[in-house]
Amino acid sequence: MAAAQLPIELAGRRIGVVGLGRSGWAAVEWLLARGARVRAFEDAPPHDLAARWAARGDARAELVIGGRPAEAAGALGDCALLVRSPGVPADHPLVVAARGGGVPVVSEIELAAAGVTTAVLAVTGTNGKSTTTAWAAHLLEHAGIAAVACGNIGHPFSTAARETPAATFVVEVSSFQLEDCPTFHPRAATILNISPDHLDRHGTYTAYAEAKWALTRNQDRDDLLALGPGLLAAAAGRSRARTLLCDPVDRGASTALFVHAGGLWWRDREDERCLLPVGELALPGQHNQVNAMAAFALAASVTEKPARLLPGLRDFPGLPHRLEPAGEVGGVVFVNDSKATNVDSLRVALQSFADPVVLIAGGRDKQGTFESIAALVGERVRHLVAIGEAAARIRAAYPEVPAETAPSLEAAVQRALASTGGSGVVLLSPGCASFDMFRDYRDRGEQFKALVRALQGADAPAPAGGESPRRR
């Protein structure tokens, strides 16, 4: 794959980076490794940022903290390119000033792709992105192909590209990261699903969906686009790539992965084969069938021996914070689904349990339609403990469900346990972003697990992995 072309040559040029979160910091390192000079901007730095920056000891990089909107154009100075971190909105003064002054703006994903000469496989969707990304990399490793799961999964693409340049890159890409990717061109890509999310940032569902579809904008007939249920028709006119449908139901598509007679099948026009019994997939649930299909499709696109991928469909261990068993207290099982940051992922979580659960939900509202799953919540939730900024809105969406509001996660865990009567499941599946109370969903999930361990006793071992006995 030919490397993407950035708007300018980098060596010796001044490049701006706005936002010094995980991906922004990685972009700085990527640029310096290629001989660029860097001016990094951070509006709300952590207390140790200046010390960490000084410890780098590189005179080619300067740090600008804070600043007023009126000074944005002057702060850019001689920057020939601006790299926008995904957490920085399009109306940030520096981004507006750059566009107004003719300075190209790109995402960290676009930047990293420009230095890659091996295969790039890309994953997006509202839910299931991280699981599919990690699963595809796991499958490739089974086939003897060096692969790295990176991007929005937590390992920046530019870090992976700098440290392991010969690998195949499986890149999780969010809608935020796709906003400034004019030349990003994955060899194979998947859009798992699109449901309302991040409307607080994108404004409308249409704008959010179009950001997702940008993943395939530069693909052509030599590339693959794997699509989740309901997306095949929408791809017409949006993508030139070969399409493959991933759907638990056989819709008759000429190229597809589907479930039939208890097996996972792969159809490539006239050729059909059963890959394995669907019950042997490592993770349960219909949503994970789609994730497995998409991961297999991506991995198969870069291997000549797809049969080598099959063991990885069976032994993938899953990821933390996704319906992860967090321990048991008495007869109560605690499940950590902190990655459920939108209403659709909350829906999937509730559908995964046979019996009603005690639900801990809430956080920063992303303008999700909580009312859309009211019937499911009424059926599957015996008691609701609401937390965070969205607590009142969530309780109002489910007026028939017994509920209370807790001022902290610690209080929520205690109140949830008290409401169980000594048996059942306590499920943390917030349906909201975490940033009102936590650094991110990982921080929220780790704190939840720590609170469960504290309930078990100071000397209790950390919970073992595996599926909750009360899951479907």
Over the stretch 185-194, which tens digit does the pLDDT of each residue have? 999 999 999 9
Q: 324-456 belongs to which CATH class?
A: alpha beta
Helix (H) or strand (E) holding 106: strand 105-107
Over the stretch 48-70, which tens digit does the pLDDT of each residue have? 888 889 888 899 999 998 876 66
- Considering only CA atoms, which of 122, 78, 92, 121 is closest in space to residue 24? 92
Q: How far apart are CA 278 and CA 281, in angstroms?
A: 6
Residue 269: predicted pLDDT: 86
Across 303-337, b (16+ Cβ under 10 Å) vs e yields: beebebbbebbeebebbbbbbbbbbbbeebbbbbb
Q: Which two tokens stand for residue 238?
A: 């949006």
Across 72-111, b (16+ Cβ under 10 Å) vs e yields: bbebbeebbbbbbbbbbeeebbbbebbeeeebbbbbbbbb
Q: pTM for the whole thing?
A: 0.89
DSSP string, 189-200: EEE----S--HH
CB-CB contact of 358 with 429 (8 Å): no
- Tell me the average pLDDT of the chain: 93
| pLDDT confidence tier of residue 4, bands split at 50, 70 and 90 | low
Segments making up each domain of the chain, as ranges:
14-103, 110-315, 324-456
Over the stretch 441-461, which tens digit does the pLDDT of each residue have? 999 999 999 999 999 983 344
Where would I find the beta strands (DSSP E) of 195-299?
A: 224-227, 242-246, 255-260, 263-268, 271-277
- Percent of the chain whose predicted confidence (pLDDT) is above 70: 95
For the domain spanning 14-103, the CATH number is 3.40.50.720
- Considering only CA atoms, which of 112, 20, 116, 23 is closest in space to residue 61? 20
**Is 110-315 a domain of CATH 3.40.1190.10?**
yes
Over the stretch 284-327, which tens digit does the pLDDT of each residue have? 889 999 999 999 999 999 999 999 999 999 999 999 999 999 99
**Over residues 92-111, mean pLDDT:** 95
| pLDDT confidence tier of residue 270, bands split at 50, 70 and 90 | confident
Q: Which two tokens stand for residue 88?
A: 């920085």
Over the stretch 405-430, which tens digit does the pLDDT of each residue have? 999 999 999 999 999 999 999 999 99
Q: How far apart are CA 442 and CA 152, in angstroms?
A: 13
Residues in the chain: 472
Over the stretch 344-365, which tens digit does the pLDDT of each residue have? 999 999 999 999 999 999 999 9
Over the stretch 154-175, which tens digit does the pLDDT of each residue have? 999 999 999 999 999 999 999 9
**Over residues 115-140, mean pLDDT:** 97
Q: Is the pLDDT of residue 462 over 50?
A: no
Q: Which two tokens stand for residue 154?
A: 């937590």
Instruction: Give me the phi and psi of 457, to 5 degrees please.
Output: 120, 145
